[in-house]
Structure 1
Amino acid sequence: MEILNKNGKVIPQLITKGDDKKPWDSAHDYLDDEIKSTGNAEYVEPNLENKIFSAEDPGSFQNKAVSALESFNEDDYLKNWPKPEVQTDRFVWHLNDQFSEFKKANRKLLEKISDPKIKIGHIDTGFQPDHPALPKNLNKEKSKSFIKGEEGKQAIDIASGKSLEQDGHGTATMILLAGNSVKNSDTDNNYEGFVGAAPFAEIISMRISETVALIQTSAFVDALEYAISEGCEVISMSMAGAPSKAWANMVNKAYEAGITIVTAAGNSWFEGPKQALPKRVLYPARWDRVIAATGVACDNLPYVLEARLQKKSEGGETMQGNFGPEDVMTHALAAYTPNVIWATMNDKGKYFRLDGGGTSSATPQVAAAAAIWLTYYRDEINEILKKYPGEKWRKVEMVKNALFNSAERYSYPLYKIYLGRGILKADKALVIPPSGENLTKAKEANVNLWGILDLLGLLLRLKGDNEADDVRSEMFQAEILQQMHSNPNLQKFLDYEETDIWTDADRELMRQELLKSDTVSDKLKEYLRSE
């Protein structure tokens, strides 16, 4: 088991306690050894294979043959969700002026700046090099893999042809973000023109996973650090999962560098075996310093069945977007999904499907809108930042101010619950100029919840007098928060806001579940039994 320091870097010393150790126990053993040998106590955590909740719905591929687009066949859309009405450029309906307004916003940008430039870091599964809609300005030389065993190689995603759910995820989200102009022959005579929301942007691809199923903690950390070093101003990551301290620290570093991070709120299922997965916004999107991308369908109703007064799936597509709790939705923004285009190379040279979904599809749209606004107001933003040396975080807050305050809020009265700040409107955002005044710095990303602190008795027992106790308590907090994502019996605690006080019954439920879990570290169990 590899052990990471607080910055997400693998500690080179070998762990010799045995492979049968639970991951967090290996971390605690390392901490114990360091305290004995050096007297110093510094936070460490295991380099976990973090479960990333899938961006597509396997159920939508069952009981029907799904192929790439050959023509506008209404059956190619997901039946359980509304499909776009017949309109000009229906193939890319989400870009149209009555939806996300990307066509209008890009026209306005080009009127002001003839050769707009910005770097966007795209963190996903990499890209398939032969797709005709790859971004015009994809920087293949700078694009890298951060998967163990592939470090330093180009971010190439090879299609196996075995799984529609997993293959080409990075290609599909990258094309939604900044896809190039395509020919009629690429779309079976359904469309000709740009398919990306910000087609002018330079894209640096960072491959952190072979599929959307698993990534190691260190892969995201290394990719985000690389994006900072390469001067990316926006990050788009259509993935979500449980947090780590290393993730939190790197998100904080990117925020302080003025980088706008947009990540998927996550997906959940209302039928089938995956319905036990969390239905609340996942990490990194749950942190205030990140924009959480939620979903809204083409009828301007949330991408959540309960919000649509539906109780079950009618067509077998059982995936929906995550939302809540209330405090998290203050930094969430909805973009259009599902039934948007989804790039593919799995079907005999066909390049697109019509059933793209999940908050994976929403994420690159929000990131693209951020990139357009930043490019449009680049000179003005730079002048403002000169007045606030060392406060690049203001750049992120200026982006959030423009996107949030231009969002459409009138289509659905309960938008704050399911959508966040509203529905993305890229052109209306350009009406809001940057200002350095009246900006509030977002709360630091961390792995703390008040209820966990209370559970561990930190207020009474660990008062900061002992450095080792402080570090140990941080490690316990991270482990418990990860357990809240993986243990269905503990997911109710994800409904709570960060400052909520847990009842005595809550604390006892958490304690008992942790004690009986086979995956919880022995060190944490020992502490819980001692209370």
Structure 2
Amino acid sequence: MPPKADDYIHDLAPEAPQGVYPEALAALKRSRRVMIGHIDAGIAPHPALGFAGDIPPSNILMDLGANLYDPENDPSPVTPLRHGSDPLAAQLEYPDHGVKTLSAILGHEPEFRGVAPWVKVVPYRVSNGPLFRNGTGPMTRSREATALIGAAIDQAVALTPEIRVITISMGNPGWLGVMDFLVRIAGGGIGMDRDTGRAVDRAYEKGVILCCAAGQVIDRVVYPARYSRTIAVGGVDKHGGLYDHYPPEGYAEPAHVDVWAQAKRLNRASYLPDTDPPVPVYADDPRAEGGEPSGTSYATPQVAAAAALWVERHYDRLEEMFADERWKIVEAFRAALRGSARSEPARLRNGSSVPVRVLDIPRLLSRAPAPVETAPAARAVGQGFW
């Protein structure tokens, strides 16, 4: 059931936004040296993102982005907001997914405010929804393969040093047990393309922070968040002073998750499904899709926006400390992120609780980068399924 009208979250700014957060936000808005790469299902002209009709705002850099999914239809990263024609499309595709996730960063209207309105973003369209069906079988086209994540990462990294953060609210769960047989029949496959693992490695070595959704459909972290060179983001739902874990069963291997952020009841932007013309709405619109607006898809862009704020605030120090070993930028951020997060018990569906690290943006921004003494994280190529 969807939340009650007064239970939606309309503002993702820190609860006490005075001090370091507005200062960092103002600096990031002005910045031309810190941008976010948004790898998702494409974007559409929703007013929550700053569009005036079909005209994009100046901070969404459409010309630098790309459509890698179906460029023959439109080379720009704009989604047509239509489901595909194969039998699994209606169950697995959410063509407005990129609008939903980007609004958690850029939302700036009273209906919904994101973490960093007006930050500069470069969008990439790599799918028609958050779940990748890796393969070339009769029910999935090769351009839906997970290799497109890697291609988009490489394009974004090519814009470094400007793109310092990438947000990815999609993935592939890896081994699915009995369900894997059905996925294979449908033309899908497990894991991530090896070239995507190489792209993750290249981004890490360039000091680009990859924030990836840990997922919630299964009880373990999905790819690419499962790679140790990414920042894996889980979800919580805060009710008063208490937290529920999202997913409610928890993760079998919580050590893979770096931080947790609000993942439920967000009044994020969306579109009415398959209307002609497409109609922009918010989650609390009675006409919007049924069910609760939830997902680690929405927790992840909050962390990505916080990462961009942190990099901008500590930019000169990061360049001074880690110019020769840029992977240390990622590890310095991971240490600051984990160290500044609030340790909280999060309730599971069975009534027990697990400890989680909840994102605290003001505390993160106040934590300067420290020297990195640890070895680099394990290479993405060489771990997991392909």
Q: Secondary structure at the match of 1:253?
A: helix
Q: Secondary structure at the match of 1:233?
A: strand
Which structure has the bigger radius of gyration? 1
Q: Which of residues 310, 314, 336 is equivalent to 1:373?
A: 310
Matched, 1:427 2:367: no
Q: Which of residues 386, 395, 401 is equivalent to 2:329?
A: 395
TM-score normalised by structure 2 residue count:
0.75
Q: Which residue matches 1:514?
A: none
**Counterparts of 2:130 and 2:347, CA distance in 1:** 33
Q: Which residue matches 2:219?
A: 279
Compute the displacement of 1:351 (Å): 2.3
AA of the residue aligned to 1:426: I
Q: Which residue matches 2:377?
A: 442
Q: Which residue matches 1:175?
A: 103
**Counterparts of 1:114 and 1:265, CA distance in 2:** 28
Matched, 1:216 2:181: no
- Alignment root-mean-square deviation, CA: 3.0
Greater fraction of residues in helix: 1
Encode CA deviations 1:400-433: one digit per residue, 9 max, x unaligned. 111110001034499xx98886000111001211
Tell whether the 8 Å contact from 1:120 to 1:202 is kept in structure 2 after alignment.
yes
Q: 1:151 to 1:371 in 2, by over 3 A?
A: farther
Instruction: Give the unaligned 5+ runs of structure 2.
Output: 51-56, 85-89, 133-143, 173-190, 285-291
Compute the displacement of 1:203 (Å): 0.5
Tell whether the 8 Å contact from 1:116 to 1:200 is kept in structure 2 after alignment.
no
Q: 1:431 to 1:141 in 2, by over 3 A?
A: same
Encode CA deviations 1:2-45: one digit per residue, 9 max, x unaligned. xxxxxxxxxxxxxxxxxxxxxxxxxxxxxxxxxxxxxxxxxxxx
Q: Which of residues 277, 288, 306 is equivalent to 2:228?
A: 288
**Counterparts of 1:176 and 1:345, CA distance in 2:** 15
The equivalences for 1:430-509 within 5 A come to 430-448=365-383, 481=385
Tell whether the 8 Å contact from 1:266 to 1:359 is kept in structure 2 after alignment.
yes
Q: 1:239 to 1:350 in 2, by over 3 A?
A: closer
Encode CA deviations 1:221-279: one digit per residue, 9 max, x unaligned. 211110011121101010011223222111001000100001111121xxxxxxxxx42
Q: Which residue matches 1:493?
A: none
**Counterparts of 2:326 and 2:212, CA distance in 1:** 20
Q: Which residue matches 2:343?
A: 409
TM-score normalised by structure 1 residue count:
0.56
Compute the displacement of 1:302 (Å): 1.1
Matched, 1:124 2:40: yes
Give aligned pairs, total.
324
Q: Which of residues 71, 75, 87 is equivalent to 1:153?
A: 75
**Counterparts of 2:76 and 2:353, CA distance in 1:** 38
Q: Which residue matches 1:382?
A: 319
Tell whether the 8 Å contact from 2:215 to 2:221 is kept in structure 1 after alignment.
yes
Q: 1:176 to 1:227 in 2, by over 3 A?
A: same
Compute the displacement of 1:378 (Å): 0.7
Tell whether the 8 Å contact from 1:337 to 1:359 is kept in structure 2 after alignment.
yes
Matched, 1:226 2:226: no
Encode CA deviations 1:136-195: one digit per residue, 9 max, x unaligned. 41001112111155398000111238969613110111111223x32x5xx4xxx7xxx2
**Counterparts of 2:249 and 2:271, CA distance in 1:** 34
Q: Secondary structure at the match of 1:360?
A: helix
Q: Which residue matches 1:477?
A: none
**Counterparts of 1:295 and 1:248, CA distance in 2:** 24
**Counterparts of 1:362 and 1:265, CA distance in 2:** 9
Q: Which residue matches 2:282?
A: 352
